[in-house]
Structure 1
Amino acid sequence: MVSNRAGKARSIRECLEIDGKWRNEQVIKFGPEDLVGVSLPHNYALVIQARVANYDVLKVFVDNGSSVNVILKEVLIQMDLHEYQLEAVETTLFGFSGHSVYPGGEITLPLILGTGDLRKTVMIVFTVVDALSSYNIILGRPAMNEMRAIASNDHQKIKFPVRGRVEEVRGDQSSSRRCYGETVRVDQKRARKEDKGKMVSRAKEVAGEREVHFVAEEDQEVVEVELGKHIRVARDLNVSTRVSLLNCLKANIDVFTWSQQELVGIYSLVAEHKLNIIPGSRPVKQKKRHFGPEKDKVVDEQVEEVLRAGHIREVQFPTWLSNVVLVPKATGK
Structure 2
Amino acid sequence: MPNKVAKIEMVISFSDIDLEGVNLPHEDALMVQVEIANRVMHRMLVDTGVSVDVISLEAYRQFGFSDDKLKPEATYLHGFLEASSSIRRTIELPVTFGDHPRQVTIMITFIVVREPYSDQRDELKEWRGKPVEDHIPFPLSEDEPTKIVQVRSLLDKEQKGKLGRLLKENSDVFAWSASDMPSIPWDIAEHRLHVDPTKKPIQQKQRNFALDRQAAIKEEVKKLSCSGFIRSEKFPTWLANVVMVPKPNGKW
- Same-fold call, TM cutoff 0.5: no
Give the TM-score, by structure 2 length: 0.40
Task: Point out the structure with the larger helix share.
Answer: 1
Highest Rg: 1 or 2? 1
Give the TM-score, by structure 1 length: 0.31
Q: Report 1 or 2 for greater relative contact order, CA contacts < 8 Å, sequence distance ≥ 6.
A: 1
